[in-house]
Amino acid sequence: MKELPTPTFPFSQLGLRASLWPAPVRTPATVPLPAPIVAVPEATHTARGGISVSWARHQDDVRAAQRLRYEVFAGEMGARLTTPLEGHDVDLFDDFCEHLLVRDEGTRQVIGTYRVLTPAQARRVGSTYSDTEFDLTRLRDLRERMVELGRSCVHADHRQGGVILALWGALAAFMNRNKLDTMIGCASIPMWHNGVTSGDAAASIWRQLSVTHMAPIQYQVQPRLPLPVHRLDGDLDIEPPALIKGYLRLGAKVLGPPAWDPDFNSADLPMLMRIDELPARYRKHFLGD
């Protein structure tokens, strides 16, 4: 196994706050879900295939999403999660995010989720999650109309495409409704392959995408804990994970080399997508243009 770097400092949004926004007004700890600054869409929309899409309206909805995240990230990926609630993936950004849910209409089980951090809520918490993994200085001029997407996951029994398309449709409507134009996030590449931890797959995917899908230099960023791609085999013929391929079809760009996330046992690629760069067929599908 090729050696991966050892993290030597904690990642914390608190140390980044001064360089991003003025100090926010703190939300009392007793308020579990801050009132959203940007309005969310109407509660529920029925999609094809016996599923429905909705935005979390109360803590029980959020808990259902966090249970699914724990099942996927800890149960399937082997992530080491530090969480205050057993069986739930919970972090300090959750209370500031809007949570998008897809449910199976038959069982009412949450089978897909995204969380969305709006510009106003990012100011309140002091940063985005992506700021803890990357130096996003070059994106400062985009922040006022930029949302962060994160914690995307779909239940193992529902990964045929319909769930993720339903999530993307709701996200596109949200962006359009609130006049937001930029989405960023960390797209993960698992490093557990055939029983061995290796970054070779991530290094190879990075090598491919750095040639074909790089963002303009004015938006390129650097990881805080880089995956040592120069010490790994970057010549494997391997396809990106399905979610990353989906982002690329939507016109997303890679912002820089991957960061290593030891807790989630993954390499994370910083990605950016602009609404006005959606291919025409997807604009028509998601926005009706």
pLDDT at 46: 53
pLDDT at 48: 58
pLDDT at 35: 40
Q: Mean pLDDT of all residues in the chain? A: 85
pLDDT at 27: 40
pLDDT at 191: 83
Which percentage of the chain shows pLDDT scores above 70?
A: 81
Average pLDDT rounded to a whole number, residues 209-216: 97
Average pLDDT rounded to a whole number, residues 41-46: 52
Average pLDDT rounded to a whole number, residues 167-182: 95
pLDDT at 9: 33
pLDDT at 190: 87
Question: Of 23-37, 41-55, 252-266, where does mean pLDDT reach its minimum?
Answer: 23-37
The pLDDT of residue 25 is above 80: no
pLDDT at 197: 64
The pLDDT of residue 100 is above 70: yes
Distance CA 114, CA 36 (A): 16
Average pLDDT rounded to a whole number, residues 106-112: 95
The pLDDT of residue 233 is above 70: yes
Question: Of 37-46, 50-59, 77-86, 195-204, where does mean pLDDT reach its minimum?
Answer: 37-46
Average pLDDT rounded to a whole number, residues 20-27: 42
CATH superfamily of 38-287: Gcn5-related N-acetyltransferase (GNAT) (3.40.630.30)
Instruction: Evaluate if pTM is beyond 0.75.
Output: yes
114-173 residue pLDDT tens: 999 999 999 999 999 999 999 999 999 999 999 999 999 999 999 877 899 999 999 999
The pLDDT of residue 8 is above 90: no
Distance CA 22, CA 28 (A): 18
176 Cβ contact partners less than 8 Å away, ≥ 6 residues apart: 275, 287
Average pLDDT rounded to a whole number, residues 27-55: 57
